[in-house]
Structure 1
Amino acid sequence: MPKKTATQQISRVARPRLYEQLVEQLMDFIESAQLGPGDTLPAERDLAERLGVSRATLAQALVALEVLGVIDVQHGTGAVLVYRPNVPSVLKGLREHRSRLPEIVEARSTLEVKLAELAAARRTDEDMQAIDKALDAMAEEVASGAKGAHGDELFHQAITAAAHSGVLAQLMTFIAEMILETRLESLGQPGRPEQSLASHRKIADAIRAQDSEAAAAAMLDHITLVSDVALLK
């Protein structure tokens, strides 16, 4: 058997994903600008121009850093640096986050579809009021230009409560932090807050009509929608 040449034996090194490259650039910028915890990053338009990327690409990298807790993106204020980690630890965190996403989606599609089905069958008038209040809260956030993350969280909490299943509620509490990752990731996609709100309204309408089958189907459609994120493409 002929021996392999040295060139043949060298395995191809995977090219870093674009968002990973951009995160490295962002960390380098933070370092060179000597930004510290509590400092605000430049506006997205300015930062995109400095880094030579589109605002859409930059937004995806900022969402990833927000998920990792490196920055806190506040509507009307911008991205505020929470802490300044080293680049290797950030990239490691990003890869771990990306690998977790499919399993988090799998768990949500299992638990929340059943919760929606049960909520339609068991909800009280008080439960419905809580669901509607959460919808109103998210609508106000989205109308103001925010992502609607708080209203989104309230909505899913209201659905869980309306199902009146203590064990399922405990399971949802157990994965709450992981769901937060998917929530931030999803609502960071262009146009997604408005799409998510419309999807929530369909779920609420089915629960209001006490149609368990329609509620489960609407929730499954919703989980499919919010699982469509750039990080997994």
Structure 2
Amino acid sequence: MAKKSEGPEISRVSRPRLYEQLVAQLLDFIAAAELGPGDLLPAERDLAERLGVSRATLAQALVALEVLGVIDVQHGTGAVLVYRPNVPAVIKGLREHRSRLPEIVEARSTLEVKLAELAAARRTDQDMRAIDAAIDAMAEEVAAGSKGARGDELFHQAVTAAAHSAVLGQLMAFIAEMILETRLESLGQPGRPEQSIASHRKIADAIRAQDAKGAAAAMMAHIDMVSDVELLK
């Protein structure tokens, strides 16, 4: 008896992740409210209530939209709409961003660990002042209520400069835009800005002590920590 054909295989439809569903809801809300570029979104508490989600969950979706450039989250003002995209385009962008994250983390763990090691061996007193100033700048930002993204960027730039490696510096500049994606994503995690500052201080202490192995280990631990983001779960 001939075996009954089972027919062609049908690929399973992937279930949208929670943040994708919430992003779609946010964009629907923006369209229904007829918000345009430059308009301010409602406060997080109000928006979370309207959407029926926790503020923590909403914050993750807002970070995703900020990474994609759809909104600009300004301290003291709130989330400002930059442009109104369609839902499919944003979801596609989110999925592409998520697929890039592991490779960005891989690149950072390769380059920045070596840069921290070299910085410990080659740093000057002026380099240390720049590193310390960057940590102070981030601490001031966070104390004022922001994520500290600018201070975080300054810190990693200062460590790169302290390594005195032109080629590695050029490579870091090349992936700077991609690192910005992971920076915004990471600093949007609850408590992460404060954890990053503490992590930066450990790296700085090792560089100050000219402990190359310690600096490399501290930077690796830092990258592991900042790479723990919701989009990779």
Scaled by the length of structure 1, the TM-score of the pair is 0.97
Q: How far apart are 1:2 and its partner, in Å?
A: 1.8
Question: What SS does the corresponding residue of 1:59 show, helix, strand or coil?
Answer: helix
Residue 50 of structure 1: aligned partner: 50
Residue 103 of structure 1: aligned partner: 103
Unmatched tracts of structure 2, length 5 or more: none
Distance 1:11 1:96 in 2: 20
Q: How does 1:127-146 map to 2 (within 5 A)?
A: 127-146=127-146
User: In the comparison of the two structures, how many residue pairs are matched?
Assistant: 231
Distance 2:223 2:112 in 1: 8
Q: How does 1:39-188 map to 2 (within 5 A)?
A: 39-188=39-188
Superposed CA deviations along residues 18-64 of structure 1, whole A, max 9, x for unmatched, are 11111110000000000000001001110000001111111000000
Distance 1:14 1:58 in 2: 22
Q: How far apart are 1:10 and its partner, in Å?
A: 3.8
- The runs of 4+ residues in structure 1 deviating greater than 2 Å are 8-12
Question: What SS does the corresponding residue of 2:80 show, helix, strand or coil?
Answer: strand
Q: How far apart are 1:187 and its partner, in Å?
A: 0.1
Distance 1:117 1:37 in 2: 44
Scaled by the length of structure 2, the TM-score of the pair is 0.97
Distance 1:162 1:169 in 2: 10
Q: What is the RMSD computed on CA atoms of the aligned residues? A: 1.0
Identity, % of aligned positions: 84
Residue 227 of structure 2: aligned partner: 227
Give 2:231's aligned amino acid: L
Unmatched tracts of structure 1, length 5 or more: none
Question: What SS does the corresponding residue of 2:76 show, helix, strand or coil?
Answer: coil
Superposed CA deviations along residues 169-206 of structure 1, whole A, max 9, x for unmatched, are 00000000000000000000000000000000000000
Q: How far apart are 1:9 and its partner, in Å?
A: 4.6
